[in-house]
Amino acid sequence: MVLSSATVIPYLLERGLLSTRQVLDEPMDVRAFVSRNRGFRVNRPTGGWWVKQPKRWDRDNLDIFEREARCYWLAREQPAFAALASLLPRCDLHDPRSRVLVLELIEAGPVSVTPENMRALADALALYQGIGERGFGTGLPWALSLAEPGPKGPTEGKQALLEILRRYPDFRSALAQLRGEWRPSAFLHGDMKLENCLVRDHRVWILDWELAAWGDSAWDVGGLLQSCWCRWIDGQVTLEELRAASRVFAAAPGIERTMRYAAARLIQTAWERLQRSSSMREDAARMLQLSQNVFARPGEAARELLGA
């Protein structure tokens, strides 16, 4: 069954998450969002849902959908993953036949770059990365191979990015070094960034576990750091605000190595921003420049960006 805005409420009724009386008596609003998945925000006075279903039913999309569903199962059923449960929205339904997840709708605004929020997120990362069981296989992030020779980019903007990465040997060597240093030793979210986090009343929720894996802990920490750098690049925070918020990571062991993984993840963000671009965007170009600077001088970058 492929869901639409018109069929979400009947689907929830059929699955027993809503009663006929609730459908008749409660005001409800369904809003559709499309990215990698179909998403439906169901608003209701007594608690809403976020309903997810793969947009395409090819093997890759089904695999990442099932990976996220497995995270919710592990958190609920496996004692070794109990710590994960506190970071996830409640899962009210996993429908493996129709490939649907129905998750608790958390009402919270975008996560701002503040010392309080970054401390809370640092604690959350430490909590789930402390899980000692694999739960998933391992593999290198695709972004670490972007500078290698290969096919053209799918858009003119992405092709421009690839040409820059492949023109400058320092990008290729830096990414190759990170591939060689990859140490699979922690449970990863795989796509850690501010946009996948919610913070309300000092509690943290982490969303979109579609890329969960067993991998190098520096990748998720780097992902969080680079998403803060993007707020600075976009003019949403000042350098002083960025330093104050990020200082919680400054004394972490291996911070220079983490900075280099953050630089690699920043390249991935630039790639993602060029999804529909016919040319290189200014913000993506600034991300590449910052990435190159961090690769060249990670210690200096840590002092400049984290106040280390």
Here the CATH number for the domain that contains residue 150 is 3.90.1200.10
Q: Which residues pair with 200 in a beta bridge?
A: 203
Supply the pTM of this predicted model.
0.95
Query: Does residue 94 fall inside a structural domain?
Result: yes
- Check whether residue 150 and residue 205 sit in a common domain: yes
Same domain, 132 and 269: yes
Q: What are the tens digits of pLDDT across the range 235-289?
A: 999 999 999 999 999 988 899 999 999 999 999 999 999 998 999 999 999 999 9
193 in the same domain as 156: yes
Last residue of a domain, one of 104, 131, 163: 104
How far apart CA 142 and CA 148 sit, in angstroms, is 11
Q: Which of 46, 70, 104 is the last residue of a domain?
A: 104
The helix-helix angle for 156-167 and 255-273 (nearest 10°) equals 150
Strands (E), 164-300: 186-188, 197-200, 203-206, 213-215
Same domain, 129 and 253: yes
Do residues 82 and 121 both lie within one domain? Answer: no
Do 122 and 214 lie in one domain? The reply is yes
Please give the residue range of the domain that contains residue 46: 8-104
Q: Does residue 109 lie in a domain region?
A: no
| Residue 110 domain-assigned (yes or no) | no
246 in any annotated domain: yes
Q: Residue 2 domain-assigned?
A: no
Q: Which structure tokens are listed for 189?
A: 């979210």
pLDDT digit of tens for each residue in the chain (308 aa)?
A: 899 999 999 999 999 999 999 999 999 999 999 888 899 999 999 899 999 999 988 999 999 999 999 999 999 999 999 999 999 999 999 999 999 999 999 998 899 999 999 999 999 999 999 998 888 999 999 999 999 998 888 999 999 999 999 999 999 999 999 999 999 999 999 999 999 999 999 899 999 999 999 999 999 999 999 999 999 999 999 999 999 999 999 988 899 999 999 999 999 999 999 998 999 999 999 999 999 999 999 999 999 999 87
Supply the pLDDT for residue 133.
87
Please indicate, yes or no, whether residues 83 and 37 belong to a single structural domain of this protein.
Answer: yes
18 and 156 inside one domain: no
| Pair 30, 130 in one domain | no
Please report whether residue 175 resides in a domain.
yes
Q: Which two tokens stand for residue 234?
A: 């976009």
CA–CA distance, 61 with 96 (Å, rounded to integer)? 14
Is 278 inside any structural domain? yes
Same domain, 36 and 165: no
Instruction: Kindly report the CATH number assigned to the domain that includes residue 94.
Output: 3.30.200.20
- 51 and 190 in a single domain? The answer is no
Q: 211 and 91 share a domain?
A: no
In a domain, 1, yes or no: no
Q: Which residues contact 8 (CB under 8 A, 6 or more apart)?
A: 30, 40, 42, 51
List CB contacts of 144: < 8 A, sequence separation 6 or more. 175, 178, 179, 182, 264
Instruction: Indicate the number of domains in the chain.
Output: 2
Asked if 248 and 118 count as a contact pair (C-beta separation under 8 A), the reply is yes
**Final residue of a domain: which of 48, 69, 104?**
104
